[in-house]
Chain A
Amino acid sequence: MLFVALSLTWSGALALEQRPVRWRAQLALVLLASVLLVGISNGPAGFAPRAVLYSACYMLFNLLTLKVFASSPHRRRLGYRLIATLVCMLILGQAGRIMLAMYFGHGELAGSPYFALANFVLILLEFAKILALIFVCFESLEIRLYQLAMRDPLTGLYNRRAFQEQAQQRLAAQAGEPVALLVLDLDYFKQVNDRYGHQAGDEVLVHLARLLHAQLAPFDALYARSGGEEFVMMLTVNAANLAPVIAENIRSALAAHAIQTSDGQQVLQTTSIGIAGGTAAQDALRQLVMQADMALYQAKQHGRNCVHSSTQAL
Chain B
Amino acid sequence: MQLHLGTLYVVQVTTFSLLTLAVLLMGLRYPQERALRHWGIGGVLASISMLLIALRPVIPACCQ
Chain A positions within 8 Å of B, measured between CB atoms, are 1-2, 4-9, 11-13, 15-16, 21, 116, 119-120, 123-124, 126-127, 130-131, 133-134, 137, 141
> Would A13 and B16 be within 8 Å (CB), given that A5-B43, A8-B42 are in contact?
no
Chain B proximity of A13: nearest CB distance (Å): 7
Given contacts A15-B35, A120-B12, 15 further A-B contacts (CB under 8 A): A2-B46, A4-B42, A7-B42, A8-B41, A8-B45, A12-B35, A12-B37, A13-B35, A15-B34, A16-B34, A21-B38, A116-B5, A119-B9, A133-B35, A134-B26
What are the residues of chain A within 8 A of B50 when measuring CB–CB? 2
Q: How near does chain A come to B23, taking the closest CB pair, in angstroms?
A: 6
Residues of A within 8 A of B12 (CB): 120, 123-124
Q: How many A-B residue pairs have CB under 8 A?
A: 76
CB distance from B44 to the nearest CB of A (A): 8
Q: By the criterion CB–CB under 8 Å, are B42 and A9 in contact?
A: yes
B45 in contact with A1 (CB, 8 Å): yes
**B49 in contact with A2 (CB, 8 Å):** yes
Closest to B45 in A: A5
* Known contacts A15-B34, A137-B35; is-contact A2 B45 (Cβ 8 Å): yes
Closest to A122 in B: B12
Contacts A13-B35, A126-B16; is A1 near B49 (CB within 8 Å)? yes
A124 contact set on B, CB distance < 8 A: 12
Given contacts A5-B49, A16-B35, A133-B35, contact A123 B42 (CB under 8 A): no
A8 near B38: Cβ-Cβ < 8 Å: yes
- Contact residues in A for B28 (Cβ distance below 8 Å): none
Q: For the side of the interface on B, what is the size category?
A: 20 to 34
Cα A1 to Cα B33 in complex, Å, equals 23
- A-B complex: 8 closest residue pairs judged by Cβ atoms: A8-B42, A12-B38, A16-B35, A5-B45, A5-B46, A2-B49, A15-B34, A12-B39
- The interface residues of chain A lying within 8 Å CB-to-CB of B49 are 1-2, 5
A sample of 17 inter-chain contacts (CB < 8 A) reads A1-B45, A1-B48, A1-B49, A1-B52, A2-B49, A4-B45, A6-B42, A8-B39, A9-B38, A12-B39, A116-B5, A119-B9, A123-B13, A126-B16, A127-B16, A133-B36, A134-B36
Q: State whether B36 touches A137 (Cβ < 8 A).
A: yes
Is B19 interfacial (CB 8 A cutoff)? yes
Cα(A121)–Cα(B23), bound, Å: 21
Q: Which of the residues B5, B8, B13, B33 comes within 8 Å of A137, measured between beta carbons?
A: B33
CB distance from A27 to the nearest CB of B (A): 14
Write the B13-41 contact mask toward A (1 if CB under 8 angstroms, else 0).
Answer: 10110011001001000100111111101
- Are the C-beta atoms of A12 and B19 separated by less than 8 Å? no
**Within the complex, what minimum Cβ distance (angstroms) separates B15 from chain A?**
7
Residues of B within 8 A of A4 (CB): 42, 45
CB distance from B41 to the nearest CB of A (A): 6
A9–B39 CB distance below 8 A: yes
Whether A11 contacts B46 by the Cβ 8 Å rule is no
Min Cβ gap A66→B in Å is 15
Give the residues in chain B near A6, CB-CB below 8 Å: 42, 46
* A133 CB contact (under 8 Å) in B9, B30, B39, B52: B39
In the bound complex, CA of A12 to CA of B19 (Å)? 16
CB distance from B63 to the nearest CB of A (A): 14
Across the interface, do A12 and B42 meet the contact criterion of CB distance under 8 Å?
yes
CB distance from A269 to the nearest CB of B (A): 37
